Amino acid sequence: MYTSFVTKGQKSSKWAHQHLLNFKALSRAVSIRAQLKRYLERYGVSMTSCKDSTKPSEVIRKCILSGYFPNVAKMQPDGTYRLVKGDIELWVHPSSVMFNRKAKWVMFHEGMMVLNLLLMKLSRQAIRLSCVT
């Protein structure tokens, strides 16, 4: 989608609208990519693509997890989660779609401290045991 927006759509709002995509979000992605590219060039890190990988989604999951690893939690026998790093007990917020779902591993990017630390925005899709170990 990103590549099509940049090449075929020539970064136009009309193209995004025709394909039912959010122009502002795509434009922001273009800006962030350019910024990340400048950082890589500044620090001499080569930029490689995962599209040639046999499992590109796994490469992307590993990338996300490497940045969010402090926010990875494992389900405990009592139904709560415990941070992999820090040994802190966590609960899923009742408004989360994950509230009634049981995932062995979760990654979250927002928590709220009330009486307990409640996980607000979390995902089980990004985590597979092979990515964590």
Q: Report pLDDT digits (tens) over 18-57.
A: 989 999 999 999 999 999 899 989 999 888 777 777 888 8
pLDDT at position 35 is 94
One domain for residues 78 and 32: no
Q: Is the pLDDT of residue 85 over 70?
A: yes
Structural domain including 32 reads 2-42
One domain for residues 82 and 123: yes
Whether residue 48 lies inside any domain: the answer is: no
| C-beta separation of 84 from 76 below 8 A | no
**CA-angle at 131, arms to 130 and 133, nearest 5°:** 70
**CA-angle at 132, arms to 46 and 54, nearest 5°:** 55
One domain for residues 27 and 82: no
| C-beta separation of 16 from 29 below 8 A | no
Whether residue 60 lies inside any domain: the answer is: no
pLDDT at position 12 is 85
Query: What dihedral angle (degrees, nearest 10) is formed by the CA atoms of 96, 124, 104, 95?
Result: 0
Tell me the average pLDDT across 81-103: 81
Number of folded domains that form the chain: 2
Whether residue 94 lies inside any domain: the answer is: yes
Three-state secondary structure string covering the chain: CHHHHHHCCCCCHHHHHHCCCCHHHHHHHHHHHHHHHHHHHHCCCCCCCCCCCCCHHHHHHHHHHHHHHHHEEEECCCCCEEECCCCCEEEECCCCCCCCCCCCEEEEEEEEECCCEEEEEEECCCCCHHHHC
One domain for residues 79 and 127: yes
Work out the pLDDT band at 69, boundaries 50, 70, 90. confident
One domain for residues 72 and 127: yes
Give the side-chain half-sphere CA count within 13 A for 49: 4
